[in-house]
Amino acid sequence: MIERSPKQFMRVLFLLAFLLFTATALPHLPTNGGHQFEGALNLGLQIRGLQDEMDQEPSPNEEFYFEQKLDHFDPENHKTWKQRFLVNTSFYQQGGPVFLMLGGEGKVSSKCASGHFVFSQWAEKFGALVICVEHRYYGKSVPTPDTSLQNLKYLTSQQALADFANFRVGIASKYGAEHAKWIAFGGSYSGMLAAWQRMKYPHLFAGAVASSAPVWAKTDYHEYLEVVTRSIGPKCADRLRQATQRIEPMLNTQSGRRALEKIFNACETMEEYIDTVEFVSDINDPICGTVQYNHDNAGHRPFEIEGMCKIIESGPDPLMAWAHLTAVYANHSGSSCVGSRYMSSIRKLHDISPTSPSLASRSWTYQYCHEFGYFQYVKKGAGTPFSPRLDMNYFYKTCRDVFQNGPIEPDTHWTNLYFGSKHPVGTNVFWPNGDVDPWHALGVLRTPAESMPARVMHGTAHCADMYAPSPKDLDVLTEVRREIEVEIAKWVVHED
């Protein structure tokens, strides 16, 4: 948790931004009038409650805009812009804490502050003011006239953290919260930001909950697909492997490509080698998305891992089983075809309009290419069942083709040096991760210090702890939510 920079880019957070089901990959430019898979980015954003399209119920949130500095690190730059934020005062008791949900790689929707996440229940218990603030260059919070490469230089995690710190100081007086305890929350990329917010600005934030935060910036992120492989189990993986062995030689011939386009309902014909890489990336999406959000409480998938593998393992032909899975997933998500033309995706990401439907994908792709890497490629010999066409060259090419003369080698060394990677130093940060989540391999899995507990929840996936509880929750998930609440209580009552 991602509009589409390679579909993998979208898986993010990170799939997603923000908390569970608000990210999507870049929509394709099909010739048949349909649209391709939205990808993990937007899927992740929707799950995490960041997309307005998911909103069905009215909410008590109020929407406001805060005048923010364009460049916090240039004292001679006095340009400003309007940063969008939402406020829910339903639970607020004067003198209570402020729970600040940090925006990530997508638009913040009204669901953020109105009960979609468990922190709303904690807000009621602690009498907290709930605020959700949008990240620069996402949603309605675009600081510049467009997202040209020249302007995207202001899109960095350091600038975003400075935004949130400046916002916290500037908005506190409006609600009489100058001396309140501010707690930062986030999931996926915004979970990284929440942790770093506490670590870099401890005088402003009393604590942070950093859910599924992949804080280790890593360009060659082959572990993503390796965790997916382990999570689906050997039988399911072997069926995919058999299908891949059929697909690979077919992609090498024109007749084979035409057959695959028909079987998988491709958006366009595959004319170049890079189109075949786009194709295999897209047919991986339903598998990766299902694993990443397995058994969360968002309920936006047609099946969990068990149901997915039941389809994959059914029938005599593993290739047709994969195609059937793709069709079921597409029907549920509203997609009409599978992406199969690389430049169609790239052209979407060339749109620099601040109101472009590909805004989140372009911005997130820039951050991947510039700061974090996260190239989810297939490492030869790693035992994954996916096509080896999905190599590092695909991701480097995407960075080059989207941002001509822009970042082509993510500066992960600096990112890790600046933030500490998987070895953070600080206090009052809670690090929950699920071991089914393909992103957990980049997270803090061992407790760095007594006041920075890390918990790995067996059987849970991306940002699962952020959602409102369900009777079906695993015991470990319920227990970790309880532990987080205990830590929040400590942060709220602790005297500075």
Catalytic residue set? 188, 437, 462
* CA pair distance 462, 12, nearest whole angstrom: 9
Q: Give dist(CA 372, CA 10) in Å, integer.
A: 13
- What the block records as the tokens of 236 is 């399911």
- The answer to whether the CB of 13 falls within 8 A of the CB of 105 is yes
- HEC states along the chain? CCCCCCHHHHCCECECCCCCEECCCCCCCCCCCCCECCHHHHHHHHHECCCHHHCCCCCCCEEEEEEEECCCCCCCCCCEEEEEEEEECCCCCCCCCEEEEECCCCCCCHHHHCCCECHHHHHHHHCCEEEEECCCCECCECCCCCCCCCCHHHCCHHHHHHHHHHHHHHHHHHHCCCCCCEEEEEECHHHHHHHHHHHHCCCCCCEEEEECCCCCCEEECCHHHHHHHHHHCHHHHHHHHHHHHHHHHHHCCHHHHHHHHHHCCECCCCCCHHHHHHHHHHHHHHHHHHHHCCCCCCCCCCCCHHHHHHHHCCCCCHHHHHHHHHHHHHHHHCCCEECCCHHHHHHHHCCCCCCCCCHHHHHHHHHHHHHHEEECCCCCCCCCCCCCCCCHHHHHHHHHHHCCCCCCCCCHHHHHHHHCCCCCCCCCEEEEEECCCCCHHHCCCCCCECCECEEEECCCCCCHHHECCCCCCCHHHHHHHHHHHHHHHHHHHCCC
Q: Are 78 and 163 in contact (CB under 8 A)?
A: no
| Strand pairing category for 373-375 and 207-211 | unpaired
Query: How many other β-carbons are positioned within 10 Å of the β-carbon of residue 413?
Result: 10
Pairwise CA distance, residues 438 & 456, whole Å: 13
Dist. CA 487–CA 319, nearest whole Å: 49
CB 22 within 8 A of CB 52: no
CA 207 to each of CA 46, 160, 216, 317, 428: distance values in angstroms, whole numbers, following the listed order: 26, 18, 20, 52, 5
